[in-house]
Amino acid sequence: MLAIENLDTVLDTDHGVVRAVEAMTLTIAQGETFALVGESGCGKSVTALSILRLLPDNGRVDAGAIRLDDVDLVQLPEARMRDVRGRRIGIIFQEPATSLNPVMKVGDQIYEVIVRHTPLRGAAARAKVIEWLVRVGIPEPQRRCDDFPFQMSGGQKQRIMIAIALAAEPDLVIADEPTTALDVTIQKQILELLRDLQAERRMALLLITHDLGIVAQMAHRVALMYAGQIVEVAPTPEFFARPLHPYARLLFGALPEAAKRGRPLAAIAGTVPPLDRVFTGCRLEERCPRAMAACRSTLPELRGVHADHQVRCLLFQAPFAAGAAAGGSPLSAADPEPKPMARGAPRAAEPASESPLLLVRDYRVHFPIRKGLLKRTVGYVKAVDGVSFAIPAGRTLALVGESGCGKTTIGKAMLQLLRTSARIDGTATLEGRRLDELRGAGLRLARRRMQIIFQDPFASLDPRMRVAEILEEGVASLRPEIAAASRQRHVAELLDKVGLRREALARYPHEFSGGQRQRLAIARALAVEPRLLVCDEPTSALDVSVQAQILNLLAELQRELGIAYLFITHNFAVVEYLADEIAVMRAGRIVEAGAAAKILSAPAEGYTRELLAAVPRLKRAA
C-alpha cells in the first residue's frame, strides 16, 4: 500500500542544513502494522510529516518518492493532498494539546473530518461523532462532545486526537506515539480498536512509538531508526528474539523492570549526533561498545543478513564480519552488568517515627460548574474527594490510575496552583508547614523546596524564551544568592545530566522533538534543587534510552540529596523499578495503597488487578 523509496528530508536552519531523514526505504502492506522505533530526535516524526507533506516551512523532501497505491505523494498538487489527508491517510499527532484547536469544541473537530471526507451530514454525522467518542472511551460522550480541549485531561485529549484520525476510516493511519498520555486500560482499549479496524477494513498502520511492549504486541515488522537512518528492519518475533544491531541491544538493556531495582539501568552514553554535519563513518560509532577502527571511516550499508532481516552495521559486512558465526550475531557476548547502586543514608538512616516530608490529609479539590448568563455555580465536579498519603524524605510514592481520576489535580492543588479555580479542603503540609496558609515570600520559599514536571512540556515551556533563559529563570527567582556566571555553569551541567547538548541553550522549544522538550522540562524542575518533586508523567514522551538516563538521574539525586518524589504515571515498568509505595486512584479516591512489592505481586482490589492485567509485557527469548 505504501512504499517509501530513498527518501531524504532536510530542514534549513540557522546552523545549516539538517538531514533529518536520509536514504529511507520501507514498504507497508495493506492490513500490516509497521513499527518505527528509535531515540527522540532520530527522525521518526519527520518521516510521518514527510508522508503527509506537513513539514514546517523550513522543511522539504529533497529526494526520493512516497507512493500510496502507485501515486507519488511528493508530486501531488496541494489540492489533491487535501483529499489524501484524513480520507486515505490519518495521523495521530504526538502532542494533542497543541494539535487540537483550542477554540473549537472537541465534537465539532471530529464532525469537521466526517463532513469533509464522508457522505454523512447533520444528525447522522453528529451521531457518528458520539459513536467515536464512545469507541475511544470518553465518558459521558453526549455532554463531553461540547467541551473544549482545555476542559479535558491529557489522556482524554489524546483520545479525541485518535477519534479525529480514525473518523473517516482511512486506509493508512500514522500513529505518532498514540498511547503516550493514556493509562494502561484505555491504552489497551485503543490498541484493540486499532486492531478491530484493521480486521474490518484491512487498514495499514505505521506505529511510531518508544514502548517496546506495544511493539511486541501490535507490530508485524519493526524498523529501528538512529540519527536519521534505518539501522535494522526485521519481523517482530525475530527482532525481539535476536536483535543484531548494537544499538538495538543497548535499547533492550535500558528497559526498566523490577529485577533491576537497586542498580542503575544500562543507559546509552552520549547523545544522538547532530544531523547538520557530514558523516564519514557509522553514526553510532561514538556511543557503540563494539566500535572498530573502520567504523570511523566506512559508511555501513543496510544489508540483508537472513530472511527479511536487514541491518546497517559493519559487523555484518565483509570483510569486517569474519568473526561472526554463520547466521548468528557477533554480539552474543553479554554486556557487563551495571554495578548496584549504593543505597545512601537518606533511605537507611531515617527513623521510622520521623515526620514525613510531605503529609496530605483528607484532601478535596472540587471544581465549580457554572451555567447561565451570570455564570452562577450550580454544582461541583469532585476531581479529588478525600485523599490522604505521606511521603518521607528520600522515598518515592507512585500515584497510578486511569486518565481523569484526579492524579494531576492532586499534584497541582498541593503545590497551590489551583487556588483561584477550585475549592480546596483538607491539608497539605511540607516540612511541617501548611502550604494552604502560605502567601508571598513564604510561598516563594516553599516553591524552592517543591517543583513539578508538567505532563505537557510544549505547553509548559515559554515559546518566546531560549532554553538558557528558561532554565535560568527559576534559579534567578528562587535562588538569587547564586551569581550569574554560576547559574550559567549550573544549567549547562543540567543539560549534560538530561542528555542534551550544550548548544541547545541558544535554541527555542519549538526546535526540539517532543522527547527533547520533556528533558528540558525535567532540567528546569531540577534547576533549583528541590526537596520534593511532583513528576507528572515525566517519562511518557521519552524513548527507553533517555528514560533510563532520567531514571538513573532521579535515583542518584534521591540517594545523594534525599529528594522525595510523587511520581504520577501509567508506566508500570517504571513503577516496578523506582517506586517504594504505590497509591491506586479511581474517581478521585485512593482505593488501594501500600508497599510497591506487595501491590504489584498481590493486589487486593479488583481495579488494581485490572490495571496490571492491561499492561503490555515484553517477552523476549532468552
The pLDDT value recorded for residue 19 is 93
Q: Which of 240, 266, 291 is the last residue of a domain?
A: 240
Nearest of 316, 278, 323 to residue 300 by alpha carbon: 316
Residue that finishes a domain, picked among 302, 323, 344: 323
Asked whether residue 122 falls in the same domain as residue 211, the answer is yes
CATH number, domain of 27, equals 3.40.50.300
How many DSSP H helices and E strands does the chain contain?
22, 22
| Whether the predicted pLDDT of 400 surpasses 70 | yes
In a domain, 346, yes or no: no
Q: Which three cell numbers stand for residue 201?
A: 477494513
Residue 287, pLDDT above cutoff 80: yes
Residue 477 has pLDDT above 80, yes or no: yes
Cβ(184)–Cβ(614) under 8 Å?
A: yes
Query: Is 512 domain-assigned?
Result: no
- pLDDT at position 71 is 93
Work out how many domains the chain is built from and give that number. 3
- State residue 42's pLDDT score: 87
DSSP 8-state assignment for residue 317: S
Q: What is the per-residue pLDDT for 354?
A: 58
Question: Percent of the chain beyond pLDDT 70?
Answer: 93
Query: Does the residue 511 lie in any domain?
Result: no
Using alpha carbons, list the distances in angstroms from residue 476 to 246, 488, 562: 43, 11, 23
Residue at 466 is within a domain: no
The span from the CA of 162 to the CA of 109, in Å, is 12
Q: Is residue 538 located within the same domain as residue 588? A: yes
Ranges 59-73, 172-186, 224-238: which has the least confidence: 172-186
CA dist 25 and 233 (Å) reads: 10
pLDDT, average across residues 170-184: 85
Report, as an integer, the average pLDDT of 502-514: 86
- pLDDT score of 103 more than 50: yes
Backbone angles phi, psi at 26, to 5 degrees: -160, 160
Categorize the per-residue pLDDT at 620 as very low, low, confident or very high, splitting at 50, 70 and 90: low
Most confident stretch, 230-239, 310-319, 476-485 = 230-239
Asked if 157 and 50 sit in the same domain, the reply is yes
The overall average pLDDT reported for the chain is 87
Residues 90 and 163: their CA atoms lie apart, in Å, by: 10
| Whether residue 222 sits in one domain with residue 75 | yes
Q: Check whether residue 26 and residue 107 sit in a common domain.
A: yes
Report the run of H or E that residue 235 belongs to, with start and end: strand 229-235
Q: Dig out the grid coordinates for 369 from the structure.
A: 460548574
pLDDT at 345 over 50: no
Q: Output 185-192 pairs: Cβ under 8 A, ≥24 positions apart.
A: 185/402, 185/610, 185/611, 185/614, 186/137, 186/155, 186/159, 186/402, 186/403, 187/214, 187/570, 187/614, 187/616, 188/614, 188/616, 189/136, 189/137, 190/136, 190/137, 190/159, 190/162, 191/217, 191/218, 191/616
Statement to judge: residues 59 and 118 lie in one domain: yes
Position 462 in a domain: no
Pair 260, 216 in one domain:
no
| Confidence band for 457, pLDDT divided at 50, 70 and 90 | confident
Residues 90 and 7 in one domain: yes
Would 164 be classed as within a structural domain?
yes
Angstrom distance (rounded) from CA 548 to CA 226: 17
Which is nearest to 26 in space by CA: 85, 76, 66?
Answer: 66
Check residue 194 and give its pLDDT.
85
Higher pLDDT, 476 or 397: 397
What pLDDT shows up at residue 342?
Answer: 45
Q: Indicate the pairing of strand 532-536 with strand 450-453.
A: parallel
* DSSP secondary structure, 474-499, as one string: HHHHH-TTS-HHHHHHHHHHHHHHTT
Domain assignment present for 121: yes
Kindly indicate the confidence band of residue 403, based on its pLDDT and cuts at 50, 70 and 90. Answer: confident
Q: List the grid coordinates of 595.
A: 508497599
Out of 179, 209, 240, a domain closes at: 240
pLDDT value of residue 350: 41
Judge if 216 and 302 occupy the same domain: no
Taking CB atoms within 8 Å and a gap of at least 24, the contacts of 102-105 are 102/148, 102/149, 102/150, 103/148, 104/148, 105/145, 105/146, 105/147, 105/148
One-character DSSP codes across 393-423? TT-EEEEEE-TTSSHHHHHHHHTT--TTTSE
Residue 332 has a pLDDT of 40
Same domain, 303 and 378: no
pLDDT of residue 552: 86
**pLDDT(328) > 50:** no
Average pLDDT rounded to a whole number, residues 553-567: 88
pLDDT value of position 53: 95
pTM (predicted TM-score) = 0.77
**Tens digits of residue pLDDT in 226-271:** 999 999 999 999 999 999 999 999 888 888 888 888 788 887 877 7
- Average pLDDT (80-95) is 91
C-alpha cell at 18: 539538517
- Helix H or strand E segment including 371: strand 358-371
Span 102-121, average pLDDT: 95
Q: What is the mean pLDDT of residues 534-554?
A: 83
What average pLDDT score do residues 401-424 get? 90
Worst-scoring range by mean pLDDT, 171-185, 190-204, 311-325? 311-325
DSSP code at position 510 = G
Residue 334, pLDDT score: 40
Distance of CA 540 to the CA centre of its chain: 3
Nearest residue to 227 (alpha-carbon basis) of 40, 25, 61, 496? 40
Q: Is 613 exposed, middle or buried (0-12, 13-18, 19+ CB in 10 A)?
A: exposed
Residue 321's pLDDT band (boundaries 50, 70, 90)? Answer: low
Report the candidate in 570, 580, 577, 567 with the shortest Cα–Cα distance to residue 612.
Answer: 570
Same-domain pairing of 290 and 364: no
Instruction: Identify the domain containing residue 252 by its residue range.
Output: 246-323
Other Cβ atoms closer than 10 A to 140: 9
Interval 511-524 mean pLDDT = 84
pLDDT for the residue numbered 263 = 83
Mean pLDDT, residues 331-338 taken together: 44
256 and 236 within one domain: no
Considering the domain boundaries, does residue 332 fall inside one? no
Q: What is the pLDDT of residue 348?
A: 38
